[in-house]
Structure 1
């Protein structure tokens, strides 16, 4: 018995070290890596760009956000291509279908615009604003942060709202969901909860592999030092 107890005591530090491994691994993961693991159907490169852009915006004096929505318009509308993350607690909150504008394409979106009355979606980084009741019900306004890319979002009423034409049934039968006038519309079943999770200054990143935008977006060009400071702040907030 004494020998058994001595053996357990001797191994206690080692057991403690193993117990800390998951926590240490979590802490070692960058935010982009951590979120990508939560959404295996998403392209990790897109998640990484979204995190980079959101952190860049906050490093430039923008208000701190705790939610990040990522839309990958390179995927067809019949597939889930919208993810909403809690970036403080590193949780996946939503994985949803999302519509693109009727002039952005059919099943696939390939054209994007910042022009009024274009009926096309916009790419780039947005910050959410207030909610309101409109013709599409409960809706969420967004401010486009990138001049010439999405800066007319408020004037164009590019908002998140629910729509009956966003459904898995339609995706299966028609090979695509319905299209909006440029808004990232979601299922009516999830719209209210998703909007509440994103309202009030959260970040939305809409992606498409547009070479001009990828090479010129100021939010994808922050220095590593800037991003490291924001990452450290986020880790500190998660620990409080």
Structure 2
């Protein structure tokens, strides 16, 4: 009887050891236990897409009187557009108005600080389709592709890129009068035909194909003043 019990105990121990060995082998194949001979090669894990950056809500539009050097009616329209489109803008602390009631010899690209009322102004071109006779005065706006004309309305400044005109900034049209701007590649860029020498020689700037071209020496300042996510408003009042 005692011998039978000893044999049974030995068989039980062997069964336990065998089961434990099988479990360890299973864990190794699943990667839960790292073998001492080296790391287990694993299949590469694909990178998850980066989450999109959340848009920061723009500050509420501040009510202020038109600065002394800015057309008050045009400023009123620009502020109304700023209020209307504020949910699509990242910043409302500064705007730029292109006052196309002025001719191209005047500094009609007006950067306005909406807190202090300080205005910085410089010259900007209009499109050849807006001034077919090249008189230096914008006569009409257009949103039609290949019109080479300037478009009217509110834009938001988008990202920078390097193109055929060097460093440039894309614009997105926010109104039905300029919603083809991105497709038409209407951008801000520097150009020789917007340099001060043009005024000295011709009394006016050259014309773009609808883009807001500024003097090459002014471009860095323009980008510093307007940045990304602010509003540009172009009109003639």
Larger helix share, 1 or 2: 1
How far did residue 61 of structure 1 move? 6.3
Q: Which has the higher contact order (CA 8 A, sep 6+)?
A: 1
**TM-score scaled by length of structure 1:** 0.67
Indicate conservation of the 8 Å contact 1:70/1:84, yes or no: yes
Structure 1 match to 2:139 = 110
In 1, Cα distance between equivalents of 2:163 and 2:225: 19
Rg comparison, structure with higher value: 2
Indicate conservation of the 8 Å contact 1:66/1:86, yes or no: yes
Q: Give the paired residue count.
A: 173
Unaligned ranges ≥5, structure 1? 1-28, 210-240
In 1, Cα distance between equivalents of 2:224 and 2:183: 22
Runs of 4+ in 1 over 4 A off after TM superposition: none
**TM-score scaled by length of structure 2:** 0.68
In 1, Cα distance between equivalents of 2:189 and 2:182: 14
In 2, Cα distance between equivalents of 1:193 and 1:81: 15
Residue 67 of structure 2 aligns to a residue in which SS? helix
1:176 to 165, 187, 204: 204
In 2, Cα distance between equivalents of 1:73 and 1:90: 21
Residue by residue over 1:112-133, the C-alpha shift from the partner in whole angstroms, topping out at 9 and shown as x without a partner, is 1111111111010111111111
How far did residue 193 of structure 1 move? 2.1
Task: Verify: 1:151 aligned to 2:179, yes or no.
Answer: yes
Task: Verify: 1:91 aligned to 2:110, yes or no.
Answer: no
How far did residue 103 of structure 1 move? 1.2
2:170 to 116, 130, 141: 141
In 2, Cα distance between equivalents of 1:30 and 1:52: 10
Structure 2 match to 1:78 = 105
Structure 2 match to 1:36 = 67
Residue by residue over 1:4-58, the C-alpha shift from the partner in whole angstroms, topping out at 9 and shown as x without a partner, is xxxxxxxxxxxxxxxxxxxxxxxxx942x1x423xx2x32221222122112212
Indicate conservation of the 8 Å contact 2:96/2:111, yes or no: yes
Indicate conservation of the 8 Å contact 1:142/1:153, yes or no: yes
Residue 151 of structure 2 aligns to a residue in which SS? coil
In 2, Cα distance between equivalents of 1:30 and 1:154: 30
In 2, Cα distance between equivalents of 1:165 and 1:61: 33
In 1, Cα distance between equivalents of 2:212 and 2:166: 14
How far did residue 77 of structure 1 move? 0.7
In 2, Cα distance between equivalents of 1:162 and 1:69: 16
Indicate conservation of the 8 Å contact 1:78/1:168, yes or no: no
Indicate conservation of the 8 Å contact 1:65/1:202, yes or no: yes
1:56 to 57, 70, 84: 84
